[in-house]
Amino acid sequence: MNQEDAEHLRLLSIFYYVVAGLAALFSCIPILHLVFGVLMLTGVLPIREPGAEQMTTVMGIFFVTFSILAIAVGLAFAVLLLFTGNYLKKRVHYTFCLVMACVACVFMPFGTVLGVFTILVLVKPSVKAAFAIATPLTNEPPN
């Protein structure tokens, strides 16, 4: 692998850390819906119509459930992006990095640009060879 490919992998790993931070930040947006759902369930929001308590409870459960799900998926995606950045830096887990580059394309616009550039770099034969040569770190002491 030449110096240019090594520099591309280094930059890609840094960009994965940045996009992971952005993904984690964006995954916190549904916290507003979570708070609103909890307010609906606790009865803090005033109900003006008789018989609307049941509908408020159902909507509160809906808001809480889907906001927690959205936050969990967003944070899991951010953690996987962090792993990808780390693996690119160490040049291990080629298939994982390639799959995550494809998955990152869904996170528009930053993930799309990052995913496409990662795919372009990873399909180069010299980069594939560098991943094949690298071995994962182990806890065994050196001989």
Ranges of each domain in the chain:
3-45+52-132
Residue 136: what pLDDT?
56
Which backbone phi and psi does 37 adopt, to 5 degrees?
-65, -40
Instruction: Specify the 3-state DSSP secondary structure of 28.
Output: coil
Residue 51: what pLDDT?
73
- The band of 135, judged by pLDDT with boundaries at 50, 70 and 90, is low
Compute and round to an integer the Cα radius of gyration of the chain: 22
Task: Give residues with Cβ within 8 angstroms of 90, minimum separation 6.
Answer: 134, 136, 137
Q: Is the dihedral of CA 3, 4, 8, 11 positive or negative?
A: positive
- The band of 57, judged by pLDDT with boundaries at 50, 70 and 90, is confident
Report how far Cα 16 is from the mean position of its chain's Cα atoms. 9
Instruction: Give the other-Cβ count within 10 Å of 75's Cβ.
Output: 14
Residue type, 80: L
pLDDT score of 116 more than 90? yes
Q: Which residue has the higher pLDDT, 71 or 45?
A: 71
